[in-house]
Chain A
Amino acid sequence: MRSPPIPEMATQEVQLNETLAHLKTESDTLKTKLEEERAKLHDVELHQVAEKVEALGQFVMKTRRTLKGHGNKVLCMDWCKDKRRIVSSSQDGKVIVWDAFTTNKEHAVTMPCTWVMACAYAPSGCAVACGGLDNKCSVYPLSLDKNENLAAKKKSVAMHTNYLSACCFTNSDMQILTSSGDGTCALWDVESGQLLQSFHGHAADVLCLDLAPSETANTFVSGGCDKKANVWDMRSGQCIQSFETHESDINSVRYYPSGDAFASGSDDATCRLYDLRADREVAIYSKESIIFGVSSVDFSLSGRLLFGGYNDYTINVWDVLKGTRVSILFGHENRVSTLRVSPDGTAFCTGSWDHTLRIWA
């Protein structure tokens, strides 16, 4: 007679499988319930409510400045709070600080890696942060002395286990928020390099993030290759809300100026608007003729216009409320990879794989 398998192990295996199956059923039920709750409040579409709003007229926006100097694709840019300086980073490993009024280069740093995918200006205007394939985020204090070697004062702050995709100072020069190809976001203390909080929940590379505009909000949104946009509580590390309606990677997320909504741009060629209090997508900005991915999005100061930089070299300008396109801008000779509106809303800057940056107004 064959001896039966060890009874305790067989029972335990069955129990674990039952537990897993039970948890899966529970999460499926919860997901369905979540969708039902969201659907109950979907009483109207944003563009229907916006029918009574006056339509926008013609927009004439042109390239007012072209910033030349990078030797390869421009991957990221950020404005200084002084509304005239810009930091940009490139595949060639260079990070350049420009005066956008005069187009002069004020500082240049060569990073030890190529593909510097992220850069950010510190709120004080006295430092910049950047990183990419080196898996780190480093902070460079900007010196008034043009001859000083900026690389000498470099401070390594963040360490991820894969590429750095985005970085952003919080309300001061003291803390930096990062997102990475390792699937996480993290909050760091600049002075000590200490990890203050990490944010787990994306199932793939995190490509972008944006901090909520209010100083009291303490939340940020991230977007990733898992097609999800997640809203996080910075203090607890918890994911508060999650949105999964895009059909491909989310390359860019940006808060609406009131902080009650955010826009996203994706490889699925659409931009979308998600309202945080309604907890759902409330608008899609798309056209059948637009088939290339969106790399970056930003709002005008009032939130009425949404600018999108696309992989087909164009910029599409959308009426956020009515959902229609109001303008299409040409000029770049390759993909638009990054786009930000200036702090006072007088212009916006785009960076491109054509090695240049352009200021539009």
Chain B
Amino acid sequence: MSTKTPSSSSIAQARRTVQQLKREARIERIKVSKASSDLMRYCGEHAKNDPLLMGIPTSENPFKDKKPCTVL
């Protein structure tokens, strides 16, 4: 009938978990529809400045090699 006596650290850990969950439950949340439209708006506003998305001309991208020059 005798069960192992719980250590003080396991009780302290359990208390911390409860405190943490209470903190997380209290935060304010917004709807996914609002969060999604905000993400979309950010993408839209910054799309034209995104080189990997828009592609930039070879001449402007230091990593894309320009045509080799021939010395005559």
A: which residues have CB within 8 A of B? 12-13, 16-17, 19-20, 23-24, 26-27, 30-31, 33-34, 37-38, 41-46, 49-50, 53, 56, 60-61, 64-65, 84, 100-101, 201, 238-242, 256-258, 260-261, 275, 277-280, 282, 300-305, 320-321, 341, 344-348, 359, 361
Contacts and interface: CB of A to CB of B under 8 A. Distances in A.
Q: Is the interface of B mostly helix, strand, loop or mixed?
A: helix
Contact of A16 (B11, B36, B63): B11
Contacts of B67: none
Interface of B: 2-3, 5-6, 10-11, 14-15, 17-18, 20-25, 27, 29-40, 42-47, 49-53, 55-56, 61-65
Contacts of B27: 240-241, 279
Contacts of B44: 53
Contact of A300 (B20, B30, B53): B53
B48 to A, nearest CB: 8
Given A280-B32, A304-B47, A13 B52 contact: no
B49 A278 contact: no
B43 A321 contact: yes
B9 to A, nearest CB: 11
A43 B52 CA distance: 32
A345 B35 contact: no
A23 B17 CA distance: 9
Contact of B35 (A37, A242, A260, A344): A260
A64 B64 contact: yes
A304 B53 contact: yes
A282 B38 CA distance: 13
B35 A278 contact: yes
Given A341-B52, A347-B52, 4 more contacts: A17-B6, A275-B39, A301-B52, A302-B53
A49 B51 CA distance: 25
B7 to A, nearest CB: 9
Contacts of B55: 60
A221 to B, nearest CB: 15
B63 A347 contact: yes
B40 A23 contact: no
Contacts of A49: 33, 36-37, 40
A61 B29 CA distance: 38
Contact of A257 (B10, B32, B33, B46): B46
Contacts of B32: 41-46, 275, 278, 280, 282
Contacts of A320: 39, 43
B43 to A, nearest CB: 4
By Cβ-Cβ distance, the 3 closest A-B pairs, closest first, are A302-B46, A302-B50, A30-B21
Nearest to B39: A261
Contact of A34 (B6, B24, B37, B49): B24
Nearest to A341: B52
